[in-house]
């Protein structure tokens, strides 16, 4: 029987699982710089060792109410095939292994959750298995990439002028 490892995070009472292989690291919250002309789903960007990483709003995507970032929240930095992304999690529970037999195809349970590709059971609670590749729509991805590229160009120009 095949198993996969998932990083489980909490947003309010919702438990969300991401493949552990997609998660780079979990860090304490840092200042998020606003990103002009980015899609509404983007909270801004963070600088991680000189790399600009967009921060997206998981709470909004999952229909949860807005709340300010708290000191005990965590930033989860993950990657897709095309980009790195960060998002704020209320709690990071850890890495858990789920056998394929414990994961139900989400389309058989609820419709309209394109980015949720499974629902895991078996640990006393359900976990929505999230496919980060599907988090952004094509329009959001293009808009975000354009806004980040504009910011990088401006940052590069400032560094050239400073030297």
| Residue 54: CATH number of its domain | 2.40.50.180
- How far is C-alpha 29 from the geometric centre of its chain's CA atoms? 14
- Domains: count for the chain: 1
- Cβ contacts of residue 127 below 8 Å, gap of 6+? 6, 8, 15, 16, 17, 98, 119, 120, 121
H-run or E-run covering 61: helix 58-61
Q: pLDDT > 90: what percent of the chain?
A: 57
Q: Which domain holds residue 53?
A: 3-162
| CA gap 129, 8 in Å, rounded | 9
Predicted model pTM: 0.87
Overall average pLDDT of the 129-156 stretch: 88
pLDDT of residue 23: 97
| CA gap 147, 33 in Å, rounded | 12
């Amino acid at each position: 029987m095949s198993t996969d490892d998932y990083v489980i995070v909490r947003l309010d009472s919702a438990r969300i699982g991401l493949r552990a292989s997609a998660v780079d690291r979990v860090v304490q919250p840092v200042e998020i710089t606003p990103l002009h002309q980015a899609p509404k789903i983007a909270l801004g960007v963070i600088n991680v060792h000189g790399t600009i990483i967009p921060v997206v709003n998981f709470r909004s995507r999952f229909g949860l109410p807005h709340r300010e970032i708290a000191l005990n929240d965590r930033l989860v930095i993950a990657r897709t095939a095309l980009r790195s992304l960060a998002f704020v999690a209320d709690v990071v529970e850890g890495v858990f292994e789920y056998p394929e037999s414990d994961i139900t195809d989400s389309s058989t349970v609820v419709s309209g959750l394109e980015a949720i590709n499974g629902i895991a059971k078996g640990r006393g609670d359900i976990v929505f298995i999230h496919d980060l590749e599907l988090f952004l729509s094509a329009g959001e991805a293009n808009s975000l990439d354009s806004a980040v590229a504009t910011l990088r160009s401006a940052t590069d120009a400032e560094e050239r002028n400073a030297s």
